[in-house]
Every structure is written in C-alpha cells, then in structure tokens.
Structure 1
Amino acid sequence: MSNKLIFIMLDGLRYDTAVSQMGYMHHLIEQGKAARYKVKSELPSLSRPLYEVLLTGTPVYQNGITTNQTVRLSKEESLFHLTKKNGLTNATASYYWVSELYNSAPFNPMTDRIQLNPNNTIERGIFYWEDHYPDTHLFADANYLLQTYEPDFLYVHSMNIDDDGHKFTADSKEYRNRAIAVDILLASVLPQWMDAGYQILLTADHGMNDDGQHGGTTTADRDVPLFLISDQVKPGIHEEEIPQLQIAPLACELLNIKPAAAMQQLSIQILKGAPSI
C-alpha cells in the first residue's frame, strides 16, 4: 500500500456545487474508487487563514493567521515541515500565499516563482500570483513536479473557481461552469496520478455566497467537499460532517507520519477497519 499523497485544494468550491457539477469525481464514487464527505470550514472563512488551518491543523486564534493581509511565515508545524522531518519529499504548485506561509515572506514575483531548493520547508515549488492564472497551467505545473521529482507529498492549489465566484457570484453559470472545467482537468490527470501510486485528498478552503464573497458563517461560506481516493478509505457517499481541523491529521495518517503536537487527534472514522460513526 502506498503512502504517497496528492492534496488538491480547489479554492472557493462550495459543497453543493461540487455535488451537482463534478461528474468525474462522482463517477469514481459510483465505481467504488472514491469517497465523498462534507467539511465544515473554520472561521473566518477566508483564504489565507484557512490555508494555514488546512496545512497545520491549528485554529486561527492559535496560529495567528487571522486575515488575508497577515503576511508572515507560519509559526506552526505544517505538512511540509512534517514530511521533511520524517524523511519524505514534498512539492507544491500553489498560489503565492503558500510560499509566504512556509518558505519566505514577502513574495517577490521576479525571484520566487520557481523555488527548487531541498533545504527549504517547501522543497520544490512553482507559485503563481494572479487569481486568474489558468488552472490548465496550474495542473501542468503540478504534473511537471510529480514527473520530475516524484515527491511523497504534492500540494496542488487551484484558484479559478474562487476567482469566478468573486467575479460572477456562486449563483452564476460562470461559477458552475468553472467547477465543471476543473472536474474535466481532474479527469485528465487523476488516472495517471493514481496509476503512479498516489492517494488523492481533494477539498476546498471555503465556499462562496450569492453575493460573490465569503468570510461569514453561512453554509454557503463554510460547507465544502472532501473527496478521498485511497485504499485506506471506505468508498461511497458519507453523510458525516467533518471539522476542517481534522484534515491535516487525516493527511498525516494517509502519509503514515506522526501529526504535529498542535494538531487534534484524528477522531473521524474514515479509514477502513475503523468503527462506523
């Protein structure tokens, strides 16, 4: 059984849109290859704070990344730190805020776009800084990193769903069509990535409301999907609502590494052999 993991984060994808628009992902579920859960995001339902939540498993009041304008390195132990600590390799194709959290801040587009330094917390990184940077390019960046470096942990951060949500609102054909477009990209890359022995964890940071914004407490702001493809996970559609703070310790379990001391203990019963909730 492989413990290699690709963590895909689709920025701004709300749960109901994922359920209604992502046909390929649901094909995998229907064929017993994937599982789907609902995740309740932490607050505030903003991007940079929730990047830190997803990658460190710590709440905002603790980690101090409270706004999108909090530009500094994380003080927590992230999945990137933990993979290096355990002798695993890591890579990412991500929005530049991820670099600012775990490699260096502030980000300089002229020097920091491509970072290939095994001494960094993020060892191999390709970063973008415009929200409309095409997801087609982003997944090509991720595929390059996978084929070239074969990292044990690959974090892929897509921004186009969030971008269209802000431009056109969640109740728009543009937002729904962008979710379909990402699903088609997933259908193009996931078969190869799964054949290469990778488990897949796919989720979102936050949702999007019908005003084209997020940050609040509504289900539109907070409810996001979790898709899992792994021999360790029970396939199918599951109705349990998972706290977002459980995602990082779940990733550690899939990677077969010890979680950080600041992370919650993994309490959700997702893995095969675990008693049902």
Structure 2
Amino acid sequence: MVKNKVILVIMDGVGYDTALSQCGYLEGMVELGRARRWKMRTALPTISAAMYETIHSGLSPLDHGVSGNEALRRSNVPNVFDQLHQGNYKTAAVAHSYFHSLYNGPYDPIEHVEVEDETKAIQYARFYSMEGYSGANICAPAEIDLCAQATHLIRRNDPDYLLLHTSSVDSTGHKYTADSSQYRIQTWHIDNALARTIPLWLDAGYDIFVTADHGMNADGHHGGTEEIMRHVPFYYLGDASMPEKGTLLDQLAIAPSILDRIGVQIPESMKAPSLFT
C-alpha cells in the first residue's frame, strides 16, 4: 500500500446545512473542483465523546461502549491512534482533553496540556480542557490559535496522522442554539482559520478530511435522532478516488479510510468499507 499523510478536522457541532451556508472557503474549493463534499450520516447517540470514538474506531457507540461524555475511559477497541502507534507511525492532535482520556489515558490539565511522548498513542499534542465551561463562559479557544498549533506540530514532528478538533461551534450552539447568528458566524470563523492554514497543509503533502461529529438543533441540543443532528458535512481535499457525488456517507467509514489512505492494515473490527475506491 502507498503511504500518505492525513489530517482530520472535526468541527464539533457543525451540521450539514450550516457548513454549506457558512463555510465559504471550503465551498469555494468545492466549486472550483479543488475539494469534494458529501453529506455524512452519523452513528447514534449523537453525543460528542461517543462520536469521537466512533470516528476513530469505526464502531457504533453500542459496540465500542462509549455512549456519552461521562465517565470516560481509555479506548479498549482497535482505533486509528493505536493502530498507527503499533505500526510505528507518528500521530499528533490539537484537541479537547476528551481525546487524551480516550487514547492516552486519564487527563491532568497541568501535565498533559502539551504531550511529547513517543510511548503514547497520541505522541505529539496540544490539549485544551475548557475547564469552567458554562452558559456564562463557553471557554472557546480561538480557531486560528488551534490551526497555528496544528501547523507547528506538522512542521516540528511531521506526523503521519494529525487530528484538529475545535469545540467552539458546539459550545456556541448550546448557548445560543443552532438557529442563531452566533452559531452560524462561529462556523464561519472555523472556515476562515482553515483558509489561512489548509494551503500550508496541502503544501506539506497532506490529504485533508473536514467533517463534524454531529449537528445541533434549534433547542441548542443534540444526542437524539433528528436529521439536523445526524447529517454532517464531509469534505475531502486530495486526489484519491472517492464515492460519487450525492452518495450519503457512513460515519463508520472514517476510521478505515484514514488507515487505508496512510497505508496501514485495517483491523477486522472496522466493518465499514474504506471510502477510497
């Protein structure tokens, strides 16, 4: 298999229709044929940590066992980070501390805000905790800061796989609902930061996936089965063959697709076929 490098961007809480209306840079790339975009259907329940594990394990929450954000524990199923680490590939992340809990173990906000440890599944990382998050203070890191941190990890460590996860739209949606100017404008802020850094990542030789873990409804809620919660965007910036335009993609296909594109054997537990054809 040919080895490629992959970046996955998770825009937490960004629904499909909101991405199409607010992500002018990504949609401009699609319009010019420099990116491709599909609608993707998420697993259930549409809760953040459950979706993080689904995205990286290729399993439904009912099968991987992470059903919510509470009482998180280390992943105990084959997942992208462990498979890559076992194959001596480099991994990196700029992400919420939930990802440390899932793939590196219990999170300490002092010890683990920065990680440089080749023994860990996520070897190079910058984590944020959003400690104190509430309706009065949504604790959202600036999008350009997250993109800049990801860019520096790429330049310093040349990871084979990098995860960039931003929580700002999810937090804004819970505060103001998905039917708000704040939610829509915060989605644009992600797109605006990506416009400044995606060209750098492409120049560094990465294939780029941009998606969301789930959407949000007009009550400022997710977790259920509404289409507005389950339908998210999936953008691909790269030159590999992919499904036809208009195909409804399966969120369970992300994990095997990452491994397939990098050139790592896909574990038997990942039943969904790779998106690469």
Task: Report the TM range for the smaller structure's normalisation.
Answer: over 0.9
1:200-242 per-residue CA deviation (whole Å, 9 max, x = no partner) reads 011100000001110010011110000001111359x821111
Task: Identify the match of residue 184 of structure 2 among 161, 176, 181.
Answer: 176
Q: Give 1:75's aligned amino acid.
A: N
Match of 1:257 in 2: 264
Q: Are residues 1:165 and 2:189 paired?
A: no
1:97-146 per-residue CA deviation (whole Å, 9 max, x = no partner) reads 000000011x1111111111001111111100115122222112111111
Task: Identify the match of residue 136 of structure 1 among 125, 139, 144.
Answer: 144
**Contact conserved, 1:2 with 1:198, CA < 8 A, in 2?**
no
**Contact conserved, 1:73 with 1:101, CA < 8 A, in 2?**
yes
SS in 2 for 1:119: coil
Q: Which runs of 5+ in 2 are unaligned?
A: 131-138
1:128-173 per-residue CA deviation (whole Å, 9 max, x = no partner) reads 0115122222112111111111111101101111111111110111
Q: Give 1:126's aligned amino acid.
A: R
Query: Counterparts in 2 of 1:26-175, with a 5 A limit?
Result: 26-105=27-106, 107-130=107-130, 131-175=139-183
SS in 1 for 2:9: strand
Match of 2:204 in 1: 196
Distance 1:234 1:25 in 2: 17
Q: TM-score, normalised to structure 1's length?
A: 0.93
Q: Give 1:28's aligned amino acid.
A: M
1:185-207 per-residue CA deviation (whole Å, 9 max, x = no partner) reads 01000001001100001110000
Structure 1's 234 and 60: CA in aligned 2 closer, same or farther, altered over 3 A?
A: closer
Count residues in correspondence.
268
Return structure 1 stretches of 4+ with deviation > 6 angstroms: none
Q: Give 2:176's aligned amino acid.
A: F
Provide the alpha-carbon RMSD of the alignment: 1.5
Distance 2:77 2:201 in 1: 29
Q: Which runs of 5+ in 1 are unaligned?
A: none
**Contact conserved, 2:19 with 2:233, CA < 8 A, in 1?**
yes
- 1:2: Cα distance to partner? 6.1
Tell me which moved more, 26-35 or 170-179.
26-35
**Contact conserved, 2:215 with 2:229, CA < 8 A, in 1?**
yes
Distance 1:33 1:70 in 2: 41
Match of 1:19 in 2: 20
Aligned-residue sequence identity (percent) comes to 34
**Contact conserved, 1:39 with 1:241, CA < 8 A, in 2?**
yes
